[in-house]
Each structure stands twice: as structure tokens, then as C-alpha cells.
Amino acid sequence: MIRITLKDGSSKEYNDGITIREIAESISAGLARAVLAGEVDGRVKDLSFQPEKDCTLKLLTFDDEGGRLAYRHTASHVLAQAVKRLFPNVRLAIGPAIDNGFYYDFDTEKNFTPDDLTKIEKEMESIIKEDISLERYTLSRDEALRFMEEKGEPYKAELIRELPENEEISFYKQGDFTDLCAGPHLPSTGKLKAIRLMSATGAYWRGNEKNKMLQRIYGTAYPKKSQLEEYLFRMEEAKKRDHRKLGKELDLFDIMDEGPGFPFFMPKGMVLRNLLEDYWRSEHKKAGYQEIKTPMILNKDLWVRSGHWENYRENMYTVEIDEQDFAIKPMNCPGGMLVYKRKLHSYRDLPIRAGELGLVHRHELSGALHGLMRVRCFTQDDAHIFMTPEQIKDEVIGVINLIDDFYKVFGFKYKVELSTRPEKSIGSDEMWELSTSGLKEALDAKGISYKINEGDGAFYGPKIDFHLEDSIGRTWQCGTIQLDMNLPERFDLTYVGADGEKHRPVMIHRVVFGSIERFIAILTEHFAGAFPVWLSPVQVKILPIVDKHYDYAYEVKKLLEQKDIRVELDTRNEKIGYKIREAQMEKTPYMLVIGDKETEGRAVAVRSRKDGDIGAMSVPDFINKIIEEIKTKAK
């Protein structure tokens, strides 16, 4: 008999030789249908796996990462099988599951065409219909090598040669197709439901440009057709909303060959950026923050003291000044510690909330760069809060309120995760208990539901992460509240308590936007470039029909500008229909058309980006309407 302990803590005895699938069946028929793999003592296994000793078991469905990977990895085997059936001379490389799907790399004489992909997808569908079972078996390294060499698969043979001499190597056989693979997999091809091949592109063997260029086919797979369709729709939407494309079209920002990962902001992008920063400043001022600015370049001693020189050196740009080493800051924290240390603090001064919109530079690999989402320099909307242990809960509530206000303004929903003490950590048990319960109590007091990531905190403290959800259902991690027991120690920060003794303050790092550059990218994609009126770089476009309307148009422009409304006037010799279409393309919230009737009646014909023609209005009425929208940050 073996004892199996399930995720919920319940445990039960089973006969030796029972499989994971049978355990699922013993629990419920619904679970048995949905289960794709099982995590046995932390390792994902096939459903046919027979636990040999007492263990913990987590049954994985498509909702679990391990279940999704097994599902899509099986789809990649089906892809390889289909390609082999249609193109027997193709050589197989590797085919992993990835986020959102899977791929397989093939060595082939000619590139796959869209027609080929359609044929391959059809063949995959018939393999799924054949419902072929996947059988796992192992060979010794020598046998495995001989097997792949006989099959004429040099890439597989190369992979096997790199494994340790006495390793048992596992294979999965499905009918006429066998692949070298560690697994796990679904029990049969019929378990797959909705598949789609997305594209074929070139990819070097092992990602190294000195190696041969292979053909990579990307695909995705879901248990329901509706889920696949939803994903395809989202991909289509995401493409339309790509901030790199919109950033150029709307003339907001750009990245040039001269500065890979170092973005440029154009005048309209700067309007957007400054609005976000102004909003940040006013909200933080209201919430009792002070603003500081620490230098971009500081000497090596500081980075040694903070631990960055030892642990983060690869990501830091350095310079030499007067024959001494300096680093360009990758984080604002060490500078923030020096600011705190300048003075003696009493418990009466705490909490101290010191904010900084700090430009940081980090070396990222060129292959990882992506528009404004992943850059080499960005502005963190940082703040460090120094407090007494008793203040943790209230301070954290304050930060949660601030983050909640910000995200609501942009129409983001969000989810919260709490990460707790990892195996390797510094700080006393007492301090971890105090700080983790401080974060929990704050979340509970706000009535926020959250997921706990056990052991996922940093070595120096627990943290809360905010994952916001955009208008097409993608999630982005932005805000964090991170407790830190390390830096106050390293910098020997103190305050004088009521007892007259020196104490160590508790410190948190927190960001709301995260990175302003990345937040602008997220906003651009979230709104598809159609920013709400208060954020639009151009709020109103005035469109006179012919030149005799120009004088009055200039007059209207002046009236709007006096009220700080951002306005452009289109005096090009173009047809009015063309001017309107173009303003619409630029996603301008309001267009004011001016012809004979408007000039005579001293009015404007208002077109809104959202609702089209909304009729004629006096200029003061229009001004009141738009100012109200700006003030309330209407969406």
C-alpha cells in the first residue's frame, strides 16, 4: 500500500501499481476527464505513472501550467508526426511547448509555404482522429544513439551524445512515429481537441547563427474550440494594437538603430508622459510623499555596499571617472538609503515616504528588447517608505489605496499575489512573521482576494504584486510592494525610538506604474491608441471647410487654448471628408467642423471619435463639455 496526499491536504491509501489516472477516477469522473498529468512530489508525470512510495500528488488540468505544457507538448509530437508523414526526408530537431502554444524545428530542403501548413494541419487532425496512444519506453544511451542514427536523425543523435553515459533515455512512441523526449505527455492523440498552426519562420539550430538555419513551425492547442477562437481573436487584436506600430503612426515615440533599447519620445509622446508624471506627482503629494532625485552615476563603493556590484554587475553599465570605478544606477534604492542616512531620525518622524521618478539603466540582451516593453533605460516611479514595525499594516493599506486609484482611472481590473519567505533568506523568523502578517492584514482589511505564492518572495522580504488586466484580457505585472530587511541592515539605517534607543526601521520599495515607458506601451495597446480625452496629446482638431472660414477657425482655436485645451487647426487645402478621415485615423477625441453656418452662428459642428456627428454647439458650451471630461478623467 502507498499513501497519497492530495493538494488539499487529504490523504488516502491505495494498492501498489495504481496509476495517476486511476487515482483521479477514484475521486470523480469529471476530474478523470479533465486531468492531463500529475505532479508527484513536485515533478510532472504521465497519467500512466505508478507512484512507488508515499508521495504528494497534484492532479493537473489545462488550468495548471504543468497540464498545459503536457497538452501542447503532445501537440508538438503530433505536428512532427504529420510532417514526417508528408515530408519523409525532413530531419527532426526539437519541439517544446511554450507560453501560448508550441513549436517544432525541422531541417528541410525548402521552406514551408502557407499551403504546406494547411496540409500539415489537416494531417494533424487525422492523427488526432486516429486516437493513437503514446507509449513511453526507455533505452540505454548506446541503444538510443544507435536507434536515432539508424533512423537518420543527426540532431536527435547530437542531443543524446550530450547526455551522461549511464543515463536511461526515454522515448515516446505513437503509431508510426517515435520521438526522443523526457515527457510528460497525454495518453493518446485523441485527447487533443482544437489545434492551429500559426506560422513558419527560420530559426538557427540551438539559436546559434553559426549553425544551420532550420524551419520552425509555431502552433497552439486548446481543449475547447471556443478557447482557440478567443486566443486567435486576441492575437489579431494585439497585432492591431502593437504599441511599436501605433507609436510610430501617432508620432509618440520611437527606437532608432543608433540606440537599441534606448527610446526617443516625440513631442506628442512627451505630452502623454508629462501628463502621467503630473498625475503621479499630485496623487503622491496628496498621499503624503516627498519627492527626491538621486544621481544617475555613483561610485563603486556604494554598489559594493548595496550588494549590486556582487549580484547585479552583469546588468550594470559602468564608467571610470578620475581613475575610479562608477556605475550608472540600475535601481534607485542605494541613493535613497543615503538620503535617509543624512539625518538622525526620531520615531516621531516616521513614516517617511520618499518618492523618486528615477531614470535607471540596465543592460538587457539585444534579443530580449521589445519596443517600450523591454528597454535598456526606463523611469521607475519608485518610492521608499521607512517606518516602525507597528506602521506596516497602515502604510501598506495606503499604498494599496494609491495603486487602486491609479488603475481605476485607466479602467484596468487587477489581481493581487502575495509571495512569502523562500528557502534561502535573511532576517529573523520573528521579522518574517511580522512583515508577512502585516502585508496579509492590509489585504484582508481592504477585502482584496489574493493568491499566495509560497516561498516565492525575495530573499530579503515578502512582497505583494499587482497584475493588471487590459482591454483584451492580457495581464501585465506593474505595481509591487516589496518589504526589505536587507538594505536597512547593509546601510545601518536607524531611528531613535520612544525608549531613547536606536532601532532598525522597516522599509518598503513600491512602484505603481512600474516603469513609465512600459506603462505607456501598455496604455497604448489597452486603448489601441485612442487615449481618453485627458490623456490625448491632441484633444481637438479644428477643420475649416474652405479658406474663408479660417479667420473664425483661428478665433476658436485661441478660445480653446486659453482654457489649456490641446488643439490643432488643419488649414490644408484638402476636402473636408479627407480631413475628417485623417483626424479619425489620428484618434483625435473631438473634431470641430467649421463652414458657413457655423461661422455665421458663431458655433462649431462637433464630431466625436466615439459617437460620430453630435451636432452644432456654441463654443462656450463645447468648452464646458470637454473641460468636464478632462477634469473627471472620463474614459
Binding residues for Zn(2+): 333, 384, 509
Nearest CB to Zn ion, comparing residues 73 and 273 = 73
Decide: is 197 part of the binding site for Zn ion (CB under 5 A). Answer: no
CB of residue 422 vs Zn ion: minimum separation in angstroms?
Answer: 19
Decide: is 216 part of the binding site for Zn ion (CB under 5 A). Answer: no
Nearest CB to Zn ion, comparing residues 188 and 608 = 188
Nearest CB to Zn ion, comparing residues 17 and 295 = 295
Give the number of other CB atoms < 10 A from CB of residue 441: 15
User: What cell numbers appear for 182 in the block?
Assistant: 523526457
Q: How many CA atoms lie within 13 A of 152 on its CB side?
A: 6
Q: Could you confirm whether 463 is annotated as catalytic?
A: yes
- Hey, which residues between 68 and 87 contact Zn ion (CB under 5 A)? 73
547: which DSSP letter?
Answer: G
Are 520 and 273 within 8 A, CB to CB? yes
Are 350 and 391 within 8 A, CB to CB? yes
CB of residue 327 vs Zn ion: minimum separation in angstroms?
Answer: 16
Decide: is 181 part of the binding site for Zn ion (CB under 5 A). Answer: yes
Question: Which one of the spans 241-249, 326-334, 460-468, 563-571 is the region binding Zn ion (CB under 5 A)?
Answer: 326-334
Binding mask 17-56 for Zn ion (x = CB under 5 A): ----------------------------------------
Number of residues that bind Zn ion (CB under 5 A): 4
CA distance 329 to 506: 23
Q: For the stretch 6-25, what's the b/e string if a residue is b when 16 or more beta carbons lie within 10 angstroms of its beta carbon?
A: eeeeeeeebeeebbbbebbe
CB of residue 73 vs Zn ion: minimum separation in angstroms?
Answer: 5
Q: Could you confirm whether 509 is annotated as catalytic?
A: yes
CA distance 500 to 524: 52
Annotated binding site: 333, 384, 509
370: which DSSP letter?
Answer: B
From the list 273, 509, 518, 541, which residue makes contact with Zn ion (rule: CB under 5 A)? 509
CB of residue 1 vs Zn ion: minimum separation in angstroms?
Answer: 32
Nearest CB to Zn ion, comparing residues 336 and 529 = 336
**Residues 353, 376, 384, 518: which is the catalytic one?**
384
Decide: is 333 part of the binding site for Zn ion (CB under 5 A). Answer: yes
CB of residue 154 vs Zn ion: minimum separation in angstroms?
Answer: 19
3-state SS, residue 515? strand
CA distance 553 to 542: 7
Nearest CB to Zn ion, comparing residues 123 and 484 = 484
CA distance 353 to 418: 22
Nearest CB to Zn ion, comparing residues 293 and 408 = 293
Angle between helices 516-526 and 267-286 (to 10 degrees): 110
Q: Could you confirm whether 551 is annotated as catalytic?
A: no
3-class secondary structure per residue, 116-147: HHHHHHHHHHHHHHHCCECEEEEECHHHHHHH
Catalytically active residues, by annotation: 333, 362, 380, 382, 384, 463, 509
Footprint on this chain of Zn ion (rule: CB under 5 A):
73, 181, 333, 509
